[in-house]
Amino acid sequence: MNKALLSIIEEHEEILLLPHVSPDGDTLGSTFALNAYLKRLGKKTHVVLNDDVPSNLMFLVDDHLHKEADYDALNATPTLVFAIDSSDPGRLDSRQKYLEGRVSVCIDHHITNTKYCDHNYVTPEASSTGEVLYELLFTDDMTVPMEIASAIYVAILMDTGSFRYSNTSSRTMEIVARLFSAGIDYVDLNIAVYQNVPIDKFRFTNMVLSTLELSHDNQVGFIYITEEMLAAAGLSMQDTDGIIENIRDIASIEVALFAREVSPNVFKASARSKRFYDVATFCLDFGGGGHVRAAGCTIKGSLSDVRNQLLSAIEL
Ligand SMILES: [Mn+2]
C-alpha cells in the first residue's frame, strides 16, 4: 500500500467514489475494487454515477451505487472523494460539485490528466487505472482478496482489449499473474464480460455496422448512430459501446470513427487506431482527448457535417 495514500485514507471515515461518465470496465472495476478495499478498512463508502451501468458489468456493482439525486437525498457527509479513471472534471459531469470542500484524490492513467484533484496518482505508462490501483494498494508478496482481484482483472482486461493493445506491458502480465494467484475465476469473468450479449443488442450492432463507409484507400472506416435509430431499437447509448472495435478488426483499417448522436445535432465521436495513427491528437483538435489508440470528442452539427469534419481532418 502506498503510504501517502494510506495516511490520507486513515484521516477519513466516510468516502465518496466517482467513476467517469459512460462507464467502462476500467472505471467500474477500479471503483468497486477500491470500494471493497475501503469497506475492508471499515470505511463508510458511496459510489455516485448518473449513467446506467452496462448490463455485462452489473455484476461488479454493489448496493453502494446511487444516482446523484438519490445520493443527495441521503444527506451523506463524506470528507474524502476519489475520482477514478477520469482525466478531467468534465468526465465527472455534474458530480464534479462533490470535489468542492472535500479532500480529493484522482487515480488515473490518462496522459491528458489535468491533475485537478488535491492528490493525483496518475501513471500514463500503466495499461489501466486498475493497474495503477493495484500498485497503490498492494505489493507482489501480498495476497489480493478475491473480490478485489476480480474487479481489478476486469479493469485491466477491458482497457487492454484482452491484452491485445500496446499498453499491455510485462508488468501488466505480472499483475494479472498475481490476480490469478488470488484464485479469480477468469473464465467466468471473461464470459460475463464478453460472451453475454443480449440478442436485441446483437441485432442492433449489426444494423449500426451496416452504416459503414470506407475512405482514404479503405484505411478509414466511419459508422454512425442517430437518436432516431436508437429510439427505434428501444436501446440506450450505452448499448453502442464497443461497436467501434468491430471496425478496427477490418484488415485494411487504420482508423475507425463512430459518430453517436447524443442530443439533436450533437455527436459524440469515438476514434480508434490500429498501428500508427495518433487519435489522441486528432480528437484534441476537436476539443476532446484520450489515448493514442483510443480517444473521443464532441462535435456539433448535422450528421453529414460531422462526417465531413471528421473525414476531412484525417491525413494518412
Ligand atoms: Mn482507463
CA of 292 to the centre of ligand 1 (A): 13
Same domain for 303 and 178:
no
In a shared domain, residues 19 and 164? yes
Domain CATH for 78: 3.90.1640.10
Q: Are residues 209 and 189 in the same domain?
A: no
Compute the distance from residue 282 Cα to the ligand 1 centre, in Å: 19
User: Roughly what angle, to the nearest 10 degrees, separates helices 186-194 and 146-159?
Assistant: 50
The reported pLDDT for the residue numbered 37 is 98
Shared-domain flag, residues 25 and 137: yes
- Smallest CA-to-CA distance from 78 within 63, 62, 90, 64 is with 64
Ligand 1 mean position, distance from CA 232 (Å): 31
User: How many whole angstroms from 217 Cα to the centroid of ligand 1?
Assistant: 31
Rounded to the nearest angstrom, the distance between the alpha carbon of 263 and the centre of ligand 1 is 25
Residue 213: name the closest of 224, 204, 226 by CA: 224
- At residue 97 the predicted structure's pLDDT band, cuts being 50, 70 and 90, is very high
Encode pLDDT of 27-46 as tens digits: 999 999 999 999 999 999 99
What local confidence, expressed as pLDDT, does residue 290 receive? 85
Q: What is the pTM of this model?
A: 0.89
Task: Mark which of 141, 160, 194 sits at the end of a domain.
Answer: 194
Residues 163, 150, single domain; the answer is: yes
Picking from 151, 170, 194, the residue at the C-terminal end of a domain is 194
How many domains in the chain? 2
- Distance from Cα 250 to the centre of ligand 1, integer Å: 24
Tell me, in angstroms, the distance from the centre of ligand 1 to residue 129's CA: 5
The CA 68 to ligand 1 mean position distance, Å, reads: 22
Residues 9 and 127 in one domain: yes
Cα(83) to centroid of ligand 1, in Å?
Answer: 12
Query: Measured in angstroms, how far is the CA atom of residue 27 from the centroid of ligand 1?
Result: 6
> How does pLDDT run across 190-218, given as a tens digit for each residue?
999 999 998 988 999 999 999 999 999 99
Cα 105 to averaged position of ligand 1 atoms, centre (Å):
16
- Reported residue count of the chain is 316
Measured in Å, residue 114 CA sits from the centre of ligand 1 at: 15
**Cell numbers that stand for 300 in this block:** 456539433
Same domain, 185 and 236: no
Question: Cα(159) to centroid of ligand 1, in Å?
Answer: 6
Q: Which of 162, 194, 226 is the last residue of a domain?
A: 194
Give 136-186 pLDDT, tens digit per residue: 999 999 999 999 999 999 999 999 999 999 999 999 999 999 999 999 999
Measuring CA to CA, which residue among 137, 118, 163 is closest to residue 30?
137
The closest alpha carbon to 291, from 165, 154, 147, belongs to 165
Domain range enclosing 22:
3-194
Distance 158 CA to ligand 1 centre (A): 9
Asked if residue 261 has pLDDT above 90, the reply is yes
3-state secondary structure the chain: CCHHHHHHHHCCCEEEEECCCCCCHHHHHHHHHHHHHHHHCCCEEEEECCCCCCHHHHHHCCCCEECHHHHHHCCCCCCEEEEECCCCHHHHHHHHHHHCCCEEEEEECCCCCCCCCCEEEECCCCCCHHHHHHHHHCCCCCCCCHHHHHHHHHHHHHHCCCCCCCCCCHHHHHHHHHHHHCCCCHHHHHHHHHCCCCHHHHHHHHHHHCCCEEECCCCEEEEEECHHHHHHHCCCHHHHCCHHHHHHCCCCCCEEEEEEEEECCEEEEEEEECCCCCHHHHHHCCCCEECCCEEEEEEECCHHHHHHHHHHHCCC
Identify the CATH number of the domain in which residue 216 sits: 3.10.310.30
Give yes or no: residues 208 and 115 share one domain: no
pLDDT at 236: 85
Q: How far does the centroid of ligand 1 lie from the alpha carbon of residue 183, in Å?
A: 24
